[in-house]
Structure 1
Amino acid sequence: MKANRSIPDAAVVPVLTYPDVRRAVAWLEAAFGFAERVRIGENHRAQMRAGEGAIIVADDGSERRAPEPGAGVTHAVMVRVDDIDAHCERARGAGARIVMEPAEFPYGERQYQAEDLAGHRWTFSQTLADVEPEAWGGTTVT
């Protein structure tokens, strides 16, 4: 893949819609530790680093709409972190609604789920062990 400083270098980049881009960027930095890397207009879009990945925060307009309360979960974004418990407490302290407290799973991950200020659902995951999928009922395909 060619490098381009005008776009995140991650292979998959979720674009999430918020009613107020600047407020969302500040909140995502405070709650989840993301970092703004490119600002596009004052309140149009922002590219953010999320660990080794990236997201784009987009304005609410045209065909884009932020999640609506009570409409169910339409998507979730998973982000891997090093210290799930500290990350969860940081998010909680910044006002994230913790949907699922940190818990260990048989596939070698400790995870929690949070909802951000606009209603986007996030899963944060810390690897505890390298577990083959067959050990918990999965199937390795490739």
Structure 2
Amino acid sequence: MSPHAPQFCSAATLFVVQDVPKAVAHYRDVLGFKVGFTYGDPVFYGGVERGDVTIHFQAENKTPRESGQGAVNVFVTEVDALHDELKSRGATIVHPPGDRPYGMRDFDIDDLDGNRLTFGMGIGGSD
């Protein structure tokens, strides 16, 4: 047994999607992620990354869970610039950037399957 306490190193959000190759392409082309990997023949699992954020996709037909039920909060710098970038690439903006009473400036998008991504940055002060 190691004398050191275990430490968490990283995590990946898992979204269930209808079509993994289509989801990977959307995250690459519209959301600016890099393709990490795809797996299977035909592909039923894959992953993308941008900065320190990793998202994995699993085909809906490989799990009892339904697509479009996922959500993730992504903490960023320059939230307005990111909004403009993603909007110009054709992202589905659900809620535009705004200052929220919980001390964040954020905006929401939905991916092709309806999974929700909230991008935000702290603006200080919350009750």
What range is the shorter-chain TM-score in? Answer: 0.7 to 0.9
1:89 maps to which of 84, 87, 95:
84
Q: How far is 1:77 from its partner? A: 0.7
Q: Report whether the alignment pairs 1:136 with 2:121.
A: no
Gaps of 5+ in 2: 1-5
String of CA shifts for 1:91-127, please: whole Å, max 9, x gaps. 2233322111001234442100011111111100123
Q: How far off is 1:18 after superposition?
A: 1.4
Label 1:90 to 1:30 Cα distance change in 2 as closer, same or farther (>3 A).
farther
Quick one: structure 1 residues 30 and 123, their matched pair in 2 at CA, closer, same or farther if it must change by over 3 Å? Answer: same
Q: Deviations over 1:1-58 (max 9, x none)?
A: 58xxxxxx52x32210111111111111122222121221252111221321211111
Identity, % of aligned positions: 27
Name the counterpart of 1:120.
115
Rate the CA distance shift 1:49–1:125 in 2: closer, same or farther, 3 A.
same
In the other structure, the counterpart of 2:35 is 36
How many residues are paired up?
A: 120
Paired position in structure 2 for 1:16: 15
Structure 2 counterpart SS, 1:65: coil
Query: Structure 2-normalised TM-score?
Result: 0.78
Quote the Cα distance in structure 1 between the aligned partners of 2:70 and 2:49. Answer: 19
Give the conservation status (yes or no) of the 8 Å contact 1:19–1:59: yes
Mapped partners of 1:127, 1:29: distance in 2: 26
RMSD value, Cα: 2.3
| More strand, by proportion | 2
* Paired AA for residue 16 in structure 1: F
**Residue 28 of structure 1 aligns to a residue in which SS?**
helix
- Is this contact kept in 1: 2:103–2:126, CA < 8 A? no
CA contact (8 A) 1:27 1:94 kept: no
TM-score, length-scaled by structure 1? 0.71
Amino acid at match of 1:66: S
